[in-house]
Structure 1
Amino acid sequence: MRKLWACGLALGMAGLIGCSGTTEDSKEAVPGATPSAVTLAISGKVTVELSTDGKGPEIGKSCTPPKGSKVRAGAEVRVTDSDGEILGAYGLEPGVTRGSSSFKTCDFGFLFKVPGASENYVMTVEGFPPMPYSREDIRRGISLWETGQGTLSQ
C-alpha cells in the first residue's frame, strides 16, 4: 500500500510540475506577439587588388585599399526593394588580406538581414552605382570586385 501511495504521490507531483511549467511559460510570453516576418540574410564581400608581386600585409591581417580605390571600411551597403524602399543598410567591415604569396587582395565583408518578401532587390555600395539582384542571387552570396576603372564587377 505504501508503494502504491508513494507512486501516486510521485506521479501527482510530476503532473503539478508540468502544470507549473506551462503556467510559467505563458507568463513570460508577450501578449499579442506574432511570428516574425521572413528575413533574407545578405552576405558577401567587396574585393580590391593589393599586389601581384606578393608585397603588402600578411594573409589574414588587416589591410587598406590602395590609393585611388573607392572601397573603404565603413562604406554603406544599402539594400532596397524594387520600389526603392530601403530594407536595410550595413557598413563594410575592415579589410582583411587574402590571396597567396604572389597575388594579394583586400576583402571587405558584409552580413546583415532584410525583410525577404520581395523577389527582386537593388544593392548599392557607397560610391558605386546600384546593382539589381534576385532573391536567388542573394542566397548564393554576393562577391564584388573593384575594377581598375573604379567600378564594381560581379
Structure 2
Amino acid sequence: MGTTTRDAFVALGSAGLRNWITSAQQLHAGKVYAGQATDRKWGNSFPDDETSWMGREFSPWHSVNPADPAFGAHVFGVETGGDAGLPVTKHDAVAGDSTDDRGYLDKDTESADNVSLALGGEDEKLTPPTPFRETLPRPVPQRAPEAPAHG
C-alpha cells in the first residue's frame, strides 16, 4: 500500500490531533501549517478560541497540538489585527456577517488570508503568530518541604 503525499496540510483551531501523530512529518505533506488563537478558558472574557483547548486537554486520544513548536508545523498568525486582517474571536470556521465575532475562515480575517497564502506557496507573506498570552494565571510551583534528617 502506497503513501499519499499532499502539497500542504493546514490545521486551524485544532482541538487536537491523534496521539500517534507526534510530528508534522507524519502527516505526509510537503508543508504543514497551523493557525491557533489563544485558548480562552472558562470565565475569561477575552475574545479568543473558547473551545479548541478542551479537546486537547480532556480527550485521551486527541491531545497533540499542531501549533506547539515541538510539532514542527509552520505556525502563522490569526489574531494580530490591524493591517494583518481581522482577528479570530471564536472557534467557528465561519461566524458570518451577522455577528461581531470572526471564525478562522471568515472573510477579511488574518487567518483566512494566511490559509490562502500557505496553500499558494507564499510562505514569505505569512504573518507570524502573536506571542502567547496567559488566559488564566498558572499556579506558582512550591518547593517541597525538606524531610527531617534521620539519625
TM-score, length-normalised on structure 1? 0.23
Higher relative contact order (CA 8 A, sep 6+): 1
Instruction: Give the number of the structure whose residues are more often strand, by fraction.
Output: 1
Greater Rg, structure 1 or structure 2?
1
TM-score, length-normalised on structure 2? 0.23
